Structure 1
Amino acid sequence: MVDRLAPTVMRTALVIRKSGLWDLALIVVAFLLYYLVRGVVVERAGEATSRAIRLVELEKSLGLFWEGQMQAWVMSSEIAVRVFNGIYVWAHFPLVAAIGLWLFFLHRRQFIVFRNAFLISGGIGLILFNLFPTAPPRLLFWGYGLIDTVAAYSPVNYDMQPAAFVNQYAAMPSLHFGWNLLLGIAIICSSRNVLLRAFAVVMPIAMGLAVVVTANHFILDVVAGTAVALFGLWAAVMLDRHGGRVWNLVVPPSLRRAQV
């Protein structure tokens, strides 16, 4: 009976694969799992705070502890604060969804590559969040002079998210920035429109500033987020180039001909 069912299951998989439903469903399910797993973290506030303080000391030794000066510059204008708060909140998942749908319907090859880049970098992020929880600057209260601008100035705040989806100690690496960088690269790889390409360059720069001046990430979090995102993209490109070999090993020749 198994021998009879196997070809049927394989043909069904091929139909789903060709229709594109698999490509879209995979990323939706993956994001839900990402946030569920990301939120399931044992309370390790002391460890996360200690690691954040060590991160501050490392930045000071490297001459990179600019978070206080950057936030002070923005705090001189309430409009600037609200603009960066808006970028932090609305240029994350709303933008991921919008650009993801644009790629899915108009640039399917790029969609698959960047979907895989998101999945790989997200998986790495989950491992690091759980192995090395790190508090964001907004949760440090010992003389650093940094405030949570999103909570202080914006009607949209962290309490609006279900508790199961929130991990207060997932600052390192900053996938808030890393994924925004991937979106920018995806636009540049998919469009020749000058305005879209300009947006693709400005957008990650704005997000990089936003995550720091809102006190949600340290500068080194952004550096780590960049590394994780670019590694995810490299791995996704390698998978795109060589993944067909694995597919050909798994799928029988008769069924491979059926999908042509």
Structure 2
Amino acid sequence: MTSYTATVSRRLPRGWAHLALQLAFWMGFYVAYQIVRGLADRDIATAFWNGFHVIRLEQWMGALFEPALQRLVDSSELLIKATSYTYWLSQFAVVALALLWVYVRHHDRFFGFRNWLIAANLVGLAVYALVPTAPPRMFPEWGFVDTLARYSSINHESGLIAYASNPYAAMPSLHSMDAFIVGVVMFGVCRSRLARTLWLVWPAWVWFSVIGTGNHYWLDVVAGVLLAVAAGVGLFRRELFSRWRTASRA
């Protein structure tokens, strides 16, 4: 064992085996995601019908503002690049790094963080299977633009992305949901005022990015945030009930 490996091992709160187990949780989630993708791909007509209804609902509410927001993004090369990178990196890379950082630096908060993400994502996957929804980028006749396909060298049709991503997973927005959970947890564990401010702003920036690239409706974002809140409240109440039962038996 090298000195570097030994140092890292000492820093891991419960060793390499426990860390590998946590990685296995996320591999299981990825497998579940692929199964749901297969289900959604077989019901494309329903996905487009559901997407159309989301558009009509927003129109009825007088709040179909996404095309205007997209025009703002498309007017700036900086915004195009920033929102595109945010879309690709926010859900998996940022979530994974945040989980790893909390695991190592604030281990007592890790399990609540992990469970919140898993619970919310599993419910989100169930909704995808039951209610597949085509994203706004698939409705150019309504003024939506597929920003990634138009301006980026990497888009939903690129290589492994075309295989791994679910093209009919607009409602709810897991990007927005995960960003909210990560932002809340990281705001709570960070001590630097700058870091806390950045994590407080992070969810709003992700929401702007997923809408601005034509990948989600604003109602998807709202649904994702509500799902995150509901999952968090459910887990918190379960934990309180568990503590009460333990105390009552003492």
Deviation for aligned residue 1:161: 2.9
Deviation for aligned residue 1:23: 6.2
Deviation for aligned residue 1:21: 4.1
After TM superposition, list the pairs within 5 Å mapping 1:62-211 onto structure 2: 62-141=61-140, 143-158=141-156, 159-161=158-160, 164-211=163-210
Instruction: Tell me: CA distance 1:243–1:39, structure 2 relative to 1, closer, same or farther (3 Å).
Output: farther
User: After superposition, what is the alpha-carbon deviation per residue over 1:102-122, rounded to whole angstroms, capped at 9, x for unaligned?
Assistant: 011111222111111111111
Deviation for aligned residue 1:201: 1.3
After TM superposition, list the pairs within 5 Å mapping 1:172-251 onto structure 2: 172-243=171-242
Instruction: Tell me: CA distance 1:193–1:135, structure 2 relative to 1, closer, same or farther (3 Å).
Output: same
Instruction: Tell me: CA distance 1:243–1:157, structure 2 relative to 1, closer, same or farther (3 Å).
Output: farther
Most deviating of 118-127 and 128-137: 118-127
Most deviating of 210-219 and 117-126: 117-126
Larger radius of gyration: 1
| Paired residues of 1:177 and 1:207 also in contact (CA < 8 A) | yes
- 3-state DSSP of counterpart to 1:172: coil
User: After superposition, what is the alpha-carbon deviation per residue over 1:12-61, rounded to whole angstroms, capped at 9, x for unaligned?
Assistant: xxxx99x7447624532333233222322242221111111111111011
- 3-state DSSP of counterpart to 2:191: coil
Deviation for aligned residue 1:99: 0.4
Which letter maps to 1:103? Answer: V
Most deviating of 81-90 and 232-241: 232-241
Question: Aligned partners of 2:116 and 2:28: how far apart in 1?
Answer: 12
- 3-state DSSP of counterpart to 1:40: helix
Which letter maps to 1:155? Answer: S
What is the aligned partner in structure 2 of residue 45 from structure 1? 44
Which letter maps to 1:95? Answer: V
Same amino acid, percent of matched pairs = 29
| Paired residues of 1:27 and 1:115 also in contact (CA < 8 A) | no
Deviation for aligned residue 1:167: 1.7
Which letter maps to 2:175? Answer: H
- Provide structure 1 residue ranges, at least 5 long, that are not aligned to the other structure: 1-15, 249-260
- 3-state DSSP of counterpart to 2:57: helix
- 3-state DSSP of counterpart to 2:129: helix
| Paired residues of 1:34 and 1:122 also in contact (CA < 8 A) | no
Instruction: Tell me: CA distance 1:49–1:153, structure 2 relative to 1, closer, same or farther (3 Å).
Output: same
- 3-state DSSP of counterpart to 2:167: coil
User: After superposition, what is the alpha-carbon deviation per residue over 1:110-155, rounded to whole angstroms, capped at 9, x for unaligned?
Assistant: 21111111111111111110111100001113x2121111122122
Instruction: Tell me: CA distance 1:35–1:194, structure 2 relative to 1, closer, same or farther (3 Å).
Output: same
Which letter maps to 1:32? Answer: Y
Question: Aligned partners of 1:22 and 1:235: how far apart in 2?
Answer: 27
- Provide structure 2 residue ranges, at least 5 long, that are not aligned to the other structure: 1-13
Question: Aligned partners of 1:164 and 1:86: how far apart in 2?
Answer: 19
Most deviating of 55-64 and 42-51: 42-51
